[in-house]
Amino acid sequence: MCGIVGFIEKQREDISDVLVNSLLILQHRGQDAAGVITYDRSFHLKKGQGLVQQIFQKKHIQRLKGFMGIGHVRYPTIGPGTGEDAQPFYTNHPYGIGIVHNGNVMNFFSLKRKLWNERKWQVNSLNDVEVILNVFAMALEDFETGKETDFVSNIFKAVETVYSLVRGAYSVILLIGDRGLLAFKDPHGIRPLSMGIKQGGIGFASESVVFDYSLHKLKRELLPGEAVFVDKDLKVFSRNILKNTYRPCIFEWVYFSRPDSIINGIGVLEARKRLGRALGKKIKQMGIHPDVVIGIPDTGRPAAIEVANELKIPVSEGLIRNRYITRTFIMPRNTKRHSSVRQKLNPVMSEIKDKNVLLVDDSIVRGTTSSEIVKMVRSIGAKKVYYASYSPPVISPCYYGIDMTTNEDFIARDKNLDEVRKIIGADLIIYGELKDLASILPFKEPCMACFNNNYPIKPQKDDIEDIEKDRLQWNLL
Ligand code: 5GP
Ligand code: MG
């Protein structure tokens, strides 16, 4: 998963500090690498591996001159995530184009081969954004040298070419030299991307929480298959290029986005509270009577409060999180994941000893975090440990940008509830219901493929093989 942001200012003021601070706000979306590219009369780029604050020092922010620019925070869903693969990517013609994206191109490897075989274009990196950039740049160049000379219609036609060739989920922002910012969403609109407006400036961001800081007013989410171009005078052109069923990823509300963001008009915190209430009702019906509810920091906490309200029992901060440790799931090796759960979370004995404890988390994916937590809580004297996930079992790979791309990733995939319970070591496992999850969004068919195996864009056999080969290769590092 990744976070993206882009700003353009009419007053031609430097925006690099706002860009970098916005990346900090989106840091939860990726901690492996980050980068910014700006434009005044030429491009200025800084990117690297690590956290935003490790990469950008004052001198870099001063060097990143420009009134328009884009930025990115990354965790890789393709490739090993080396510094070379950090975004933004850049090509010097036509115009000079910088690009950032959030999502995952399913046919990355076959497109890379196609670009080489048909045009001898070298896609150098293991970053799927590079194929989007190449397809777009190539198409724009073709249209610009053809009879059609209207720039705006040419870029929209180039986006159409991207749609026809690139399969997967992608929300994209491009910085086009001397021209402006272009943002678009894939035809199903799987990953979020919203637009914000203020006097003299326009912005795009993965999550609305960026605009709370940058003082843009959240205007709206981009539509599926829609492209929006903002020129240097802040004139906005938008076009619905290819509209498919809207299938926004529900995992954004379950886990990924910040609770203070609003996506598609639905507050993330509110959605988690609703899921908590539904879970509480289910537990009540099951006739279980824990002594205390503990939310697993951070995502599980708002739901835990709601569960406790439903059950009319106390909620406690019985697990304390070390806020200086970044998300553990992101670490490529399993052993690392195990030990960093211990580093990240610590139980408080007075809240847990001799009690029947109900733990509430957002999801159970591999079962790594959950089994460590159950062990920890038992080791300080819990009587019974009930483990609840407010989302249903995660059973299917995500090909659209969440790093769970192979079947081996899922504890619940081929196992019944009791088998999962045994592995995690809890006295009981409780999952949220699929229908309650679906009800948090007003869309007919949000993407819930990881929960219900119903894919908006069917993965093809070759793509799955390429993707699995890639992920297994790097996970084994
Ligand atoms: P598990 O217990 O299955 O090993 O992991 C579940 C935990 O991982 C939950 O606490 C959830 O918050 C977190 N999680 C779920 N999906 C993701 C993800 O895509 N990235 C990261 N960093 N954490 C995740
Ligand atoms: Mg968690």
Nearest to 86 by CA among 98, 96, 94, 95: 98
Range in 150-154, 203-207, 242-246, 388-392 the model is least confident about:
242-246
Q: How confident is the model at residue 47, as a pLDDT? A: 96
Class for the domain spanning 3-247:
alpha beta
Q: How far apart are CA 330 and CA 334, in angstroms?
A: 10
The set of protein residues with a Cβ atom below 6 angstroms from ligand 1 is 255, 296, 299, 327, 329-330, 361-370, 402-403
Share of the chain above pLDDT 70, in %: 94
pTM of the model: 0.94
Dihedral angle sign, alpha carbons of residues 72, 76, 79, 81? positive
Residue 119 CA neighbour count, 13 Å, CB half? 14
Architecture of domain 267-446: 3-Layer(aba) Sandwich (3.40)
For the stretch 398-447, pLDDT in tens is: 999 988 877 777 999 999 999 999 999 999 999 999 999 999 999 999 99
Gap from CA of 129 to ligand 1 centroid (Å): 25
**The two structure tokens encoding residue 346:** 């610590």
SS3 sequence of 253-308: HHHHCCCCCEECCEEHHHHHHHHHHHHHHHHHHHCCCCCEEEECCCCCHHHHHHHH
**The two structure tokens encoding residue 321:** 């999180």
Neighbours of ion ligand 2 (CB under 5 A): 299
Atom of ligand 1 at shortest distance to CA of 370? 2
For the stretch 109-161, pLDDT in tens is: 999 999 899 988 888 888 899 999 999 999 999 998 876 679 999 999 999 99
CA dihedral 28, 303, 443, 364 (to 10 degrees): 70
Which ligand places an atom closest to the C-alpha of 390? 1
Q: How confident is the model at residue 102, as a pLDDT? A: 97
323 Cβ contact list (under 8 Å, min separation 6): none
Q: How confident is the model at residue 337, as a pLDDT? A: 52
Q: How confident is the model at residue 158, as a pLDDT? A: 98
Tell whether the model's pLDDT for residue 476 goes beyond 80. no
For the stretch 83-115, pLDDT in tens is: 678 999 999 989 999 999 999 999 999 999 998
Atom of ligand 1 at shortest distance to CA of 251? 16
> Looking at this protein, which amino acid is placed at residue 39?
Y
Q: What are the sequence ranges of the domains in the chain?
A: 3-247, 267-446
For the stretch 45-96, pLDDT in tens is: 999 999 999 999 999 999 999 999 999 999 866 666 666 789 999 999 899 9
Which has more confidence, 331 or 270?
270
DSSP 86: P
Q: How confident is the model at residue 1, as a pLDDT? A: 80
Q: How far apart are CA 172 and CA 425, in angstroms?
A: 42
For the stretch 192-212, pLDDT in tens is: 999 999 999 999 999 999 999
For the stretch 13-25, pLDDT in tens is: 899 999 999 999 9
Tell whether the model's pLDDT for residue 336 goes beyond 70. no
Which has more confidence, 141 or 472?
141
Q: How far apart are CA 61 and CA 20, in angstroms?
A: 8
Gap from CA of 103 to ligand 2 centroid (Å): 21
Tell whether the model's pLDDT for residue 334 goes beyond 60. no
Which has more confidence, 362 or 467?
362
Query: Nearest 5°: phi and psi at 340?
Result: -75, -20
Tell whether the model's pLDDT for residue 458 goes beyond 60. yes
Angle subtended at Cα 397 by Cα 344 and Cα 192, rounded to the nearest 5 degrees: 75
Query: How many Cβ atoms from other residues are within 10 Å of residue 350's Cβ?
Result: 9
Tell whether the model's pLDDT for residue 347 goes beyond 80. yes
Q: How far apart are CA 131 and CA 125, in angstroms?
A: 9
Which residue carries 């899921």 as its tokens? 275
For the stretch 156-196, pLDDT in tens is: 999 999 999 999 999 999 999 999 999 999 999 999 999 99
Residue nearest to atom 4 of ligand 1 (CA): 368
The catalytic residue positions are 2
Residue nearest to atom 20 of ligand 1 (CA): 329
What mean pLDDT, rounded, does the chain reach? 92
Atom of ligand 1 at shortest distance to CA of 1? 19
Nearest to 399 by CA among 344, 334, 465: 465
Atom of ligand 1 at shortest distance to CA of 299? 12
**The two structure tokens encoding residue 57:** 């020092």
Asked whether the beta carbons of 215 and 209 are under 8 A apart, the reply is no
Range in 208-222, 303-317, 461-475 the model is least confident about:
461-475
Gap from CA of 397 to ligand 1 centroid (Å): 14
DSSP 66: -
Query: How many Cβ atoms from other residues are within 10 Å of residue 291's Cβ?
Result: 17
Gap from CA of 298 to ligand 2 centroid (Å): 6
Q: How confident is the model at residue 341, as a pLDDT? A: 84
